[in-house]
Amino acid sequence: MRRLIEGYRLFHQTYYQEHREMFDQLALGQAPKAMVISCCDSRVDPGLIFNAAPGEIFTLRNVANLVPPYSPDGNYHGTSAAIEFAVCSLNVEHIIVLGHARCGGITALLGAHEGDFIGPWMRMAEPARDAALAQVGDADHERLHRVCELESLKISLANLAEFPWVRERVAAGRLALHGWYFDIEKGELLTTGNGSGVFERVV
């Protein structure tokens, strides 16, 4: 804890003081152009890896960066609530679902992890596991893991596209959806930028 308070002290003495004008402006409101849906994983920090300033990206983090299906059933939908706010109130122009290598949520999906919440949460990505197994089998576990991470991104993007107010805005050209993948080990960024569903390295 001391390490974090010291970290805050340093932030306050340096970054905060050097950017007072920006923080004064941000205190009036936020107008991010992009939403990033990322994993909770402590190694994947969207603000850091995209070199984004406060106010630039509206970030949601959950286990394995999943977007659940649109299901307005009155239950507690933290992810869908954040997406609704970003799209309908902030009018973001881009939503990036950011996957990453070595994802623990995907490890849980490929294993037998259940738990009170993680098992049921990861169940929505089961078609990704099935698709990955069909593509590469289970002999090379590392490759299976990676393919499953990429397939799971596709499921999240497909689910996202089914939210009615997302669909409307995408059709009107006011919103674009993207699947990106951060390879922690190699430092590479893959995207589906060509719209084919094939991930290609951009950096």
Binding residues (CB under 5 A) for Zn ion: these are: 39, 41, 103, 105
Q: Which is nearer to Zn ion, 108 or 175 (CB)?
A: 108
CA dihedral 187, 175, 195, 153 (to 10 degrees): 50
Closest distance between Zn ion and the C-beta of residue 121, in Å? Answer: 12
Half-sphere exposure of 89 (CA within 13 A, CB side): 9
Q: Which is nearer to Zn ion, 61 or 178 (CB)?
A: 61
Q: Which is nearer to Zn ion, 122 or 166 (CB)?
A: 122
DSSP type of residue 125: G
From CA 179, how far away is CA 200, in angstroms rounded?
Answer: 11
Closest distance between Zn ion and the C-beta of residue 74, in Å? Answer: 28
**151: how many CB neighbours lie within 10 A of its CB?**
22
Q: Which is nearer to Zn ion, 35 or 87 (CB)?
A: 35
- Determine which helix (DSSP H) or strand (DSSP E) holds 58, and give its type and residue range: strand 57-62
- Hey, which residues does 97 pair with through a beta bridge? 37, 179
Closest distance between Zn ion and the C-beta of residue 188, in Å? Answer: 16
Closest distance between Zn ion and the C-beta of residue 2, in Å? Answer: 28
Closest distance between Zn ion and the C-beta of residue 38, in Å? Answer: 8
Give the type of residue at 90: L
Q: Which is nearer to Zn ion, 12 or 123 (CB)?
A: 123
Closest distance between Zn ion and the C-beta of residue 43, in Å? Answer: 9
Question: Exposed (0-12), middle (13-18) or buried (19+): which is 116, by Cβ within 10 Å?
Answer: exposed
Question: Exposed (0-12), middle (13-18) or buried (19+): which is 85, by Cβ within 10 Å?
Answer: middle
- Hey, which residues does 183 pair with through a beta bridge? 188
